[in-house]
């Protein structure tokens, strides 16, 4: 059963989905969302998913150990850039896999 924390600026009641997943909406910042997710995960992994703005906040705060990018050769021409406002990082590529329309790359964040 999935129990997800969703980082947002707009307070909402938890939302239960068919299949048992429940989404809880966190409005008090990235550290709180991560702490709640870690509590629920126990010894398991925590995945942070979101757009560039969310990922940039976690990267800038030094809260990401490993990052998986899914690169699709399609540009919208606007939006937030990944790594914008993030201090220099030392990334080690640990995996890459190409498919017909996407490349999956995994990096370990070393610093």
What is the structure's pLDDT at 86?
Answer: 95
**What is residue 3's predicted lDDT score, i.e. its pLDDT?**
84
Mean pLDDT, the chain, rounded, equals 92
CA distance 75 to 92: 25
- Mutual angle of helices 52-60 and 30-41, in 10-degree steps: 90
Please report, rounded to a whole number, the percentage of residues in the chain having pLDDT higher than 90.
77
Concatenating the DSSP letter of every residue in 61-92 gives TT--SEEEEEE-S---S-SPPTTTTPPP--EE
Say what the pLDDT of residue 104 is.
97
Q: Is the model more confident about 75 or about 13?
A: 13
Query: Smallest Cα–Cα separation from 50: which of 82, 24, 22, 10?
Result: 82
CATH topology of domain 48-111: Dihydrofolate Reductase, subunit A (3.40.430)
Which part of the chain is CATH 3.40.430.10?
Answer: 48-111
Residue 76 near residue 86 (C-beta atoms within 8 A): no
3-class SS of residue 97:
strand
For residue 49, the model assigns a pLDDT of 87
pLDDT at 14: 93
Q: For residue range 42-85, list pLDDT tens digits in order.
A: 999 999 988 899 999 999 999 999 999 999 988 778 888 999 99
């Amino acid at each position: 059963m999935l129990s997800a924390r969703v980082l947002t600026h707009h307070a909402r009641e938890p939302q239960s989905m068919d299949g048992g997943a429940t989404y809880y909406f966190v409005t008090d910042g990235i550290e709180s969302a991560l702490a709640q997710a870690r509590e629920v995960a126990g010894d398991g992994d925590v995945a942070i998913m979101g757009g560039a703005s969310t990922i940039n906040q976690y990267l800038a705060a030094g809260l990401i150990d490993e990052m998986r990018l899914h690169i699709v050769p399609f540009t919208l021409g606007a939006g937030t850039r990944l790594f914008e406002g993030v201090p220099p990082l030392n990334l080690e590529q640990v995996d890459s896999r190409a498919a017909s329309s996407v490349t999956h790359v995994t990096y370990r964040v070393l610093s």
